[in-house]
Amino acid sequence: MVSKNDYTSFPREYEEFKKKFFELSGINLNSYKHQIHRRVHMLMKKWNIDNYDELFRLISTDKGKYMDFLNYLTINVSEFFRNPERFDTLEKEIIPMVMRPDRSIKAWSAGCATGEEPYSLAMVFEDLKISKTPRILATDIDRDALEKAKKGIYEAKQLQNVKPDRLRKYFLKKSDNLYEVSQVIKNRVNFKRHDLVLDPFDKDFDLILCRNVVIYLEREVKEKLYRKFRDALRIGGVLMVGNTEQIFGYRELGFRSIKPFFYQRVK
Ligand SMILES: C[S@@+](CC[C@H](N)C(=O)[O-])C[C@H]1O[C@@H](n2cnc3c(N)ncnc32)[C@H](O)[C@@H]1O
C-alpha cells in the first residue's frame, strides 16, 4: 500500500514500477527530478489508487489512462510565441547571426510538445523571407503530443501572442475557438519522436531551441544534455533556453552567452 501522505514511502515498489514503466514506454523516470515521483503520487490519489501494481495494471491495459498518465507527467503545455520578447530577439538578432549565404538554416525544436514552438519559428523564418528554405526538426518524447502537433489545430487561448498579421497569414479560423496552422507552415516542420536523454543527436544545427524541458531533469542529466546540444551545434550555432533557465558553467562547456537565454557554441 502507498501511504496517502508520503510519496516517498515504499521505495522498492516505486523502483519496480519505474522498471516496468521503462519497458512499457521507453521513458526512464530516473532521469527526472524527485518532483516527478510526487506527481505520480498525486495522480494515484486522484485516481484513488493506493499501490504501484494497480497503477501499472491500469496504464498498461487502458490506452486512455496511459495517455492521461503521460500527459500529467510531461506537462506538455505550450503556446505560440511563448515569451514574445525572446522571439523578437531571435528574429532581429539571432537568426541574422546564424544565417549563412551558401546553405539553408538547420534548426531544431527539442521538446516541442504540441508544436506551437516549431510553428512559431517557421512563421518567423517565413516573414524573414529567407531565400533558402530553412529546415526545422521538431522532436518530443510524447507521441500523443506529436500527433496533435501534426494536426496543427489549436484553441484561441494558445494564440494570444500571435501578432494580427501573422494570425491572418498563417492560420485558418475553423470555428470561434479553433484555429488551424496553414499548410505552408506545416510543410516547414518535420516532427519526430525522440528521447533527449536516451537517443543520439543529429549534427550541424545552426539553431536549437530547448525551452521548458530540462526543468524536470536531474542536474547530471541536464549537464550531459547541454554537452550533447553543444556537439549537435556547428561552431557559431546558437542554443536558446527557456525564460527561467540558465546554463551554469557555460564557458567550460564551450559556449558564450550572447544575450540572456541565448548561448553560442564557440569551440
Ligand atoms: C513544457 S513542454 C515545453 C514545450 C515548448 N518547448 C515550450 O517551451 O513551450 C515540455 C516537453 O518536454 C517533453 N519532454 C520531457 N522529457 C523529454 C525527453 N526526455 N525527451 C524529449 N522530450 C521530452 C515533454 O513531453 C513536453 O512535451
Work out the mean pLDDT of the chain and round it to a whole number.
Answer: 92
Q: How far is the CA of 212 from the centre of ligand 1 (A)?
A: 7
Percent above pLDDT 70 for the chain: 96
Residue 134 covered by a domain: yes
115 with 188, same domain? yes
Packing angle between helix 63-74 and helix 143-151, nearest 10 degrees? Answer: 90
| Whether pLDDT at 1 is above 70 | no
Q: What CATH code is carried by the domain that includes residue 245?
A: 3.40.50.150
DSSP string, 179-194: EEE-HHHHHTEEEEE-
| Whether pLDDT at 216 is above 80 | no
Q: How far apart are the first and last CA of the chain?
A: 52
Q: Taking residues 52-56, what's their average pLDDT?
A: 96
| Whether pLDDT at 54 is above 80 | yes
88 with 44, same domain? no
At position 197, the amino acid (one-letter code) is V
Residue 159 covered by a domain: no
Q: How far is the CA of 140 from the centre of ligand 1 (A)?
A: 6
The CA distance from 194 to 198, in Å, is: 8
pLDDT tens digits along 77-125: 899 999 999 999 999 999 999 998 889 999 999 999 999 999 999 999 9
Half-sphere exposure of 145 (CA within 13 A, CB side): 27
Residue 3 covered by a domain: no
47 with 115, same domain? no
49 with 142, same domain? no
Count structural domains, the chain: 2
What is the per-residue pLDDT for 91? 97
The CA distance from 67 to 90, in Å, is: 34
Print the domain residue range for 90: 84-150+182-265
Residue 156 covered by a domain: no
* Number of residues that this document lists for the chain: 267
User: Which set of grid coordinates corresponds to residue 218?
Assistant: 536531474
44 with 146, same domain? no
Which residues lie with the beta carbon below 6 Å from any ligand 1 atom?
74-78, 82, 111-113, 117, 140-142, 145, 195-197, 211-213, 242
Looking at per-residue pLDDT, the higher value among 70 and 106 belongs to: 106
Parallel, antiparallel, or unpaired for β 233-241 and 262-265?
A: antiparallel
What is the per-residue pLDDT for 264? 98
Residue 78 covered by a domain: no
Among residues 234, 233, 210, which one has the least CA distance to residue 222? Answer: 210
Helices (H), 26-170: 34-46, 52-61, 63-74, 84-89, 95-98, 116-128, 143-151, 164-170
- DSSP code, position 259: E
| Whether pLDDT at 265 is above 80 | yes
pLDDT tens digits along 149-161: 999 999 999 999 9
- 2 pLDDT band (50/70/90 cuts)? low
What is the per-residue pLDDT for 121? 98
Percent above pLDDT 90 for the chain: 74
Among residues 192, 169, 193, which one has the least CA distance to residue 182? Answer: 169
57 with 92, same domain? no
56 with 106, same domain? no
Q: How far is the CA of 112 from the centre of ligand 1 (A)?
A: 6
223 with 102, same domain? yes
